[in-house]
Amino acid sequence: MWKNITPQLDEMGILPKIARNTLTQYCELWARWKKVSIWLQEHGEVYSIRAEPTPNQIERDEKGDVKSVQQWPQVSIVRGLREQIKVLEKELGLTLPAIAGMTIGGKGKEKEQKGKGRFFSAG
């Protein structure tokens, strides 16, 4: 994450203005979030809690019946990490409203376009 975001922030002209500690925290949280998200993609968000197999099920090499379904702890972890990431994104000015509203390090457009043209310009 660090390798991806630092050049972007530098190009935007805001890298020297932000706290390195905050950016480090953001990258670490993002890496943890990504790792847990991948785990959830592989295992799903819930797992089955099964009853003890009956003697007939044991003979047929079957598992017990599903008693209930439980959410993996990783679901709560990823949700908490996402909230922490949102807070740091706001601090770093990485939200879409923040990016859309800033003139970035003198590298912004010379003249603000109005109307539909601002969405279709080549620059």
pLDDT tens for the chain, 123 residues long, are 667 777 776 676 666 565 678 888 998 999 999 999 999 999 999 999 988 888 888 887 788 888 899 999 999 999 999 999 999 988 887 788 777 766 555 444 444 555 555 545 554
Asked whether the whole model's pTM tops 0.95, one would answer: no
Q: State whether the Cα torsion 105-110-113-117 is positive or negative.
A: negative
Written as six digits, the tokens of 64 are 């017990």
* Single-letter residue type at 8: Q
Q: How far apart are CA 95 and CA 108, in angstroms?
A: 17
Domain ranges of the chain: 2-12+20-94
Distance CA 85, CA 26 (A): 6
Helix (H, G, I), strand (E, B) or coil at 107: coil
